[in-house]
Amino acid sequence: MYNFEFERPASLADAVAALGAEEAQALGGGQTLIPTLKQRLASPAKLVSLTGIAEMQGVSAAGSSVTIGGATTHATVAAEAAGAYPALAALAGNIGDPAVRNRGTIGGSLANNDPSACYPAAALGSGATIVTNAREIAADDYFQGMFTTALDEGEIITEVRFPVPEAASYQKFEQPASRFALVGVFAAKYADGVRVAVTGASEEGVFRWSEAEAALNHDFRTDALMDLDINPANMIGDMHGSKAYRAHLVKVMTKRAVAAML
């Protein structure tokens, strides 16, 4: 590690002000950022912790939506969203291990946009709205490629609003050492249609499988996916799985998600 300043503001206004300093960076649970600092892949002069901001924590349900504060841990989502949005709670409860779930936050995960993270699939698959200190961003506009989002410098995710679907399921084929998704599929059925979001598979990060959505909107059965295939050209290929293998898993996990919803 190296020397840096550390600040833990108690309000969102103070956090925004602190992030205005030169080379300042927000810190959520630190599950990605701290290892990055240790490897000197990033070296901000100041870390601004968001974990002491009460207004950015907690889960609330109202009507047909669930709102989660940006500094809410995965463990809290797993416990408190279970009644209102079971698929989202189940996803949160299967991220990493207990240490990761009790430190990592939904805002940190979405801000980092790791290509194998689980929450991006939930947000995109649910058509969620990412709310920041400055604006509201639709999930379809938020994710812009591997480790890339619509967030501006110093912008903070304050909460995420999830429309609750009629049915949903997240199916993850885990990389056993990290428990990241080798391929994960979040499928959600709403009154106006089905959304299918895929994580872990593509070199471009999380994406919607539009062909599967169209097929399932026409006939919501696993058989509707039989004739569909993902082009492996843009899939991730590494020591854990080839491009073709990940393309195959996308279809398998999508069928499992639909079967679970049925």
pLDDT, position 38: 84
What is the pLDDT averaged over residues 107-121?
Answer: 95
What is the pLDDT averaged over residues 83-93?
Answer: 98
Query: 174 pLDDT exceeds 70?
Result: yes
Question: Nearest Cα to 29, choosing from 115, 119, 116?
Answer: 119
Question: Can you tell me the distance from the alpha carbon of 252 to that of 243, in angstroms, rounded to the nearest whole number?
Answer: 14
Number of domains forming the structure of the chain: 3
Q: Which pLDDT band, with edges at 50, 70 and 90, does 113 fall under?
A: very high
Encoded tokens for 216: 């399932």
pLDDT, position 22: 87
Q: Please check whether residues 117 and 155 belong to one and the same domain.
A: yes
What is the pLDDT averaged over residues 12-41?
Answer: 87
Question: With 0-12 CB in 10 A as exposed, 13-18 as middle and 19+ as buried, what is 235?
Answer: buried
Q: What value does the mean pLDDT of the chain take?
A: 95
Q: Please check whether residues 33 and 68 belong to one and the same domain.
A: no
Which own/partner pairs from 230-239 qualify as long-range (CB within 8 Å, at least 24 positions apart)?
A: 230/201, 234/202, 234/203, 234/204, 235/201, 235/202, 235/203, 236/115, 236/200, 236/201, 236/202, 236/203
> Considering 163, 189, 204, which residue would you say is the last residue of a domain?
163
pLDDT, position 44: 87
Q: Please check whether residues 93 and 133 belong to one and the same domain.
A: yes
Residues facing residue 207 across a β-bridge: 198
CB count within 10 Å of CB 5 equals: 13
Q: What is the CATH number of the domain that holds 27?
A: 3.30.43.10
Q: Please check whether residues 87 and 108 belong to one and the same domain.
A: yes
- Residue that wins the pLDDT comparison between 167 and 31: 167
pLDDT, position 3: 84
Q: Please check whether residues 72 and 156 belong to one and the same domain.
A: yes
What is the pLDDT averaged over residues 48-77?
Answer: 96
Q: What is the CATH number of the domain that holds 252?
A: 3.30.390.50
Q: Please check whether residues 115 and 97 belong to one and the same domain.
A: yes
Domain of 20? 5-49
CB 41 within 8 A of CB 84: no
pLDDT, position 34: 82
What is the pLDDT averaged over residues 170-180?
Answer: 92
Q: Please check whether residues 70 and 150 belong to one and the same domain.
A: yes
Q: pLDDT digit string (tens) for 181-203?
A: 999 999 999 999 999 999 999 99
Encoded tokens for 182: 């080798």
- Residue partners of 213: CB distance under 8 A and separation at least 6: 193, 194, 195, 196
**How far apart, in Å, are the Cα atoms of 67 and each of 39, 98, 146?**
34, 23, 25
Q: What is the residue type of 108?
A: G
Query: 37 pLDDT exceeds 90?
Result: no
pLDDT, position 1: 63
pLDDT, position 33: 81
